[in-house]
Structure 1
Amino acid sequence: MKPFLVGASLLATFLLSVTAAATELTDLGQGLGYLRAHSLDESIKPLAGATALVLDLRHATATPEAVTSFAAALAARPADARLFVLVSPATPAALAQHLPAPVLTLGIAGSQPAPQVVVSQSAADDRRAYDALATGTPLADLISGTIEKERYDEATLVQEFKLGHPEATPPEPGAPSGGADAPVNARPTDRVLQRAVHLHRALLALKR
């Protein structure tokens, strides 16, 4: 009986640690933080600070009261703290009108609000990559991989930033990468998060 209890305890500890890691502010390097908002109520405190931030609202849940408090916390962030917001078709519609300016929204086609940067990935693959973090896949693995198409769009978008057009959007993406021959068990890539990270790095390089 004891081994069973010990095993159950270790499993519970592991699951809690994974959940905590997903809801707390995570360092992505080069001054960029990542915050996954499962519940807006639990995500308000980590919003403070001057760091550039990737705010993941793809599958957030919200009450009207939480939206109001969350909007106030976003508005209190320093104006020069860059904010990338990840959205999906499941993002609560009430959040759209409360996103501060300037903000850069990224997501797959069909996301709400309509993202400024549309990333070429199917809804199923986007959700699979999103869920992979909660099951133990490191963030570093989820954002690794080749991004040839994005490099072209990224250069275009960064040039628009340089010219003073932060609201610019890249060209319409082509067909999602990975066709019918793509292996089902291939490691998931979070292309929406990956795109935000590379845009941040490109914008940093632009200032040098």
Structure 2
Amino acid sequence: MKKTLLLLALAAGFAATAAAEQLARDLGKGLTYSRVHALPADLPASTAKPGAIVLDLRYARGDHGATAALGSWLKSRNASAPVFVLLNADTAPVVLAYFTAHDPGAGLVTLGVASPAFTPDITLKISPAAERIAYEAFEHATPVETLLTDPSAKPRHDEAAIAQERAGPADDAVSPDTDLADTPAAATAPPPPPPPVIDYVLLRAVHLHRALLALRKL
């Protein structure tokens, strides 16, 4: 019986560790990402990797006791290692009230979409639906690097195709009298790919961290 209980305890501890690892990602250059579903259970351990951190509190649940734990955790952080806190209208009201009522101190920046309950230090204009899609993508094992890939930095394949067509032989051109719907290219053209899912709030936090590095503020 004791052996069974010991095995169950070890399994539970392993599951908790695995879950915590799934909530954290290394964003490179000394920046880590930690997602919090519930306070205070999901707060990073005090022994976690030192350095700058993105603390994602979007959609996080918590009560007044949780905010006390959050406050203690924030105070334990080194001011020279900034904390970028992501918030939105679906963050627990007591958590939003905490950031409204308390001076966050040096080294803490809040980011997100402004709401009647809270205005972060850095505001972004993103629809709630788009933000939720990006947030859920991470939950479904989408690599964080994918969610941080700015589509404007990608080559425009459609423009390249147009340029290639214009550079082709003149007799390959379609006659003005030809119905484009009857051409083989139109008939076999695949549908355009869906737009990439980007977590713009998280991306802004990463850009801010990189800017501080470039300015040698870290």
How big is each residue's C-alpha offset from its partner over 1:8-55, in whole Å with a ceiling of 9 and x where there is no partner? xxxxxxxx99954442x3210000011101011222343555310101
Structure with the greater relative contact order (CA < 8 A, sep ≥ 6): 1 or 2?
Answer: 1
The one-letter code sitting in structure 1 at the alignment partner of 2:66 is A
Structure with larger Rg: 2
CA contact (8 A) 1:18 1:136 kept: no
**Contact 2:57–2:85, Cα closer than 8 Å, also in 1:** yes
Identity %: 36
Distance 2:214 2:44 in 1: 30
TM-score, normalising length: structure 2: 0.64
Check 1:185–1:46 CA distance in 2 against 1; reply closer, same or farther (3 A cut).
Answer: farther
Cα distance in 2, alignment partners of residues 58 and 138 from structure 1: 18
1:147 Cα deviation (Å)? 6.2
2:211 to 202, 205, 208: 202
Match for residue 105 of structure 2 among 101, 104, 122: 101
Question: Secondary structure at 2:126's aligned position in 1?
Answer: coil
Equivalent AA in structure 1 for residue 38 of structure 2: S
1:107, distance to aligned residue in structure 2 (A):
0.6
Contact 1:87 1:112 in 2 (8 A): no
- Aligned residue among 102, 106, 123 for 1:118: 123
Tell me the residue number matched to 1:63: 63
Q: Which amino acid aligns with 1:61?
A: R
RMSD: 2.8
Deviation of residue 185 (structure 1)?
Answer: 3.6
Cα distance in 1 for residues equivalent to 2:58 and 2:202:
11
**Larger CA deviation: 107-116 vs 50-59:** 107-116
Q: Which residue of 1 is the match for residue 26 of structure 2? A: 27
CA contact (8 A) 1:47 1:74 kept: no
In the alignment, structure 2 segments of 5+ residues that lack a partner are: 1-15, 154-191
Q: Which residue number corresponds to residue 190 of structure 1?
A: 199
* Amino acid of the structure 2 residue aligned with 1:101: G
Q: Which runs of 5+ in 1 are unaligned?
A: 1-15, 149-182
Match of 1:13 in 2: none
Cα 1:45–1:143 change in 2 (3 A) is closer
Count of matched residue positions in the alignment of Structure 1 and Structure 2: 159
Inter-partner Cα distance in structure 1 for 2:25 and 2:18: 12
Alpha-carbon shift at residue 72 of structure 1 (Å): 0.8
Of the three residues 127, 150, 155, the one matched with 1:145 is 150
Letter in 2 for 1:205: A
Measure, in 1, the Cα distance between the counterparts of 2:34 and 2:133.
Answer: 18
Q: What amino acid is aligned across from residue 121 of structure 1 in structure 2?
A: I
Whether the 8 Å contact between 1:48 and 1:77 is mirrored in structure 2 is no
In structure 2, give the amino acid aligned to 1:27. Answer: D
Deviations 1:49-93 (A, max 9, x none): 531010100111112222211211111111211011101111122
